[in-house]
Structure 1
Amino acid sequence: MEYGANYIVRAETWLFITTLVYFLMNGAQIFETAVIVPKWTASPPESFQLLGGRYGLNLKTFWIVVHTIHEITFVVALIFCWKIMPIRNWLLLLFFLHMAVRAWTLMYFAPNIMTFQDVANGAASETDLLDRANLWRTLNYIRVSIFILISCGLIPLCISIINMKTR
């Protein structure tokens, strides 16, 4: 199927934007996973102090903004790539996988870190905090790896759309 040059340029632009935003988000995830998570999971409940108090880390707003921007760019890329069936289909699959991991984040990671923050701010401490923090950290490695794999799945799509312009 032939696509107008303007259509391909818009599709390419938004695909590149969402890919760039995804990789920027990955960078923040990798930094948090490599630097911050090992500190607050080291020896709960004492190490939770990094998450508590007036000056404790609370990255909730940051992650809400970053994921919102990324998901908006992802949807816009889908809209602008919609007529390009192979790219659309792969984008839909990647978006579905991304949203599945986001759902996992909202169901498991967010509630648990809020519990850890509550403990840091004086809530009753549970006896299995070290096990829970270690599980959170281990599952976070898996989650971040999945996000990275999904974003890497965008690269062949970017290459494909570049090749469409040269035909």
Structure 2
Amino acid sequence: MWTPTLVLIAAATLAACASLGGGLYEAVVVDPVWPRRPGIIQARNGGISRRRFWIPAHTVFEVLLIVALIAAWGAPDVRLALLVALVSHAAMRVWSLLDLVPKAVDFEKADPSSVDEDAAVAWTRRSLLRLPLDLVTCGAMLAALAIA
């Protein structure tokens, strides 16, 4: 395979793995705590800003994935793996944008004392369901890289 295409696939794979790592970090470190202490996900209250990671992380991955897909279109096995990554990532993003992100923004904007802890816990449980889709995306990207 042409070296620039291989580099694109490798960079997209790295970005996919970084996103999976970010998701795991949130699931293991942030999500178990914030429903009881909502201020830690509110940047205005000294907490973390999830946007500072997720917007660039998703943008970089999505651009790299699309460019890698275009560059590797002539290699059917690589193309298939990249398309699997694209579909699994798109499913996760659409679901997140329609369901999880609006509720996360509401939690981030709310007064910490008014956040419903049960609703926050339910959100964190639904958010965990994104991880299997991220695993599929990473696995498909690693497969594309190995095939290339």
TM bin, normalised by shorter chain, reads 0.7 to 0.9
Q: Is this contact kept in 2: 1:51–1:120, CA < 8 A? A: no
Structure 2 match to 1:152: 139
Distance 2:121 2:29 in 1: 15
Greater mean deviation of Cα atoms: 27-36 or 51-60: 51-60
Distance 2:93 2:62 in 1: 10
Question: Which ranges of 4 or more aligned residues in structure 1 deviate by more than 4 Å?
Answer: none
CA-atom RMSD in angstroms: 1.9
Q: How many residues align?
A: 147
1:2-151 mapped onto 2 (5 Å cutoff): 8-41=2-35, 43=36, 47-52=37-42, 53-120=44-111, 125=114, 129-151=116-138
Deviation at 1:118, TM superposition (A): 2.2
Q: Is this contact kept in 2: 1:109–1:136, CA < 8 A? A: yes
Deviation at 1:121, TM superposition (A): 5.7
Distance 1:120 1:37 in 2: 18
Deviation at 1:26, TM superposition (A): 1.4
Distance 1:134 1:70 in 2: 28
In the alignment, structure 1 segments of 5+ residues that lack a partner are 1-6, 162-167
Q: TM-score, normalised by structure 2?
A: 0.88
Percent identity for Structure 1 against Structure 2: 23
Q: Give the greater-gyration-radius structure (CA).
A: 1
The letter of the residue matching 2:52 is T
